[in-house]
Amino acid sequence: MWKFKVGNIQIGQNHPLVVVSGPCVIEDETHTLRCAQFLKALCERHGIQLIFKASYDKANRSSINSFRGPGLERGLEILQRVKTEFDLPILTDIHHPEEAAPAAEVCAIVQIPAFLCRQTDLILAAGSSGAVVNLKKGQFMAPWDMKHVIEKLASTGNDKIILTERGTSFGYHNLVVDMRSIHILRKFGFPVCFDASHAVQLPGGMGDQSGGQREFILPLAKAALAAGAHLLYLESHPHPEKAKSDKHSVISYDALEMLLRDAVLLHDLIQNSLAIC
pLDDT tens sequence across 154-193: 999 999 999 999 999 998 989 999 999 999 999 999 999 9
Strand duo 109-112 + 132-136: pairing:
parallel
Rounded CA separation 175/244 (Å): 22
Sign of CA dihedral 216, 270, 276, 20: positive
In which element (H, E) is residue 211 found?
Answer: strand 211-212
Q: pLDDT tens across 70-107, in order?
A: 999 999 999 999 999 999 999 999 999 999 999 999 99
CATH superfamily of 4-273: Aldolase class I (3.20.20.70)
pLDDT at 238: 97
Taken as a whole, the chain contains a residue count of 277
Nearest to 253, CA basis, from 32, 17, 20, 21: 21
pTM score, whole prediction: 0.94
Q: pLDDT tens across 20-75, in order?
A: 999 999 999 999 999 999 999 999 999 999 999 999 998 877 778 889 999 999 99
Measure the CA angle with vertex 230, ends 225 and 236; round to 5°.
75
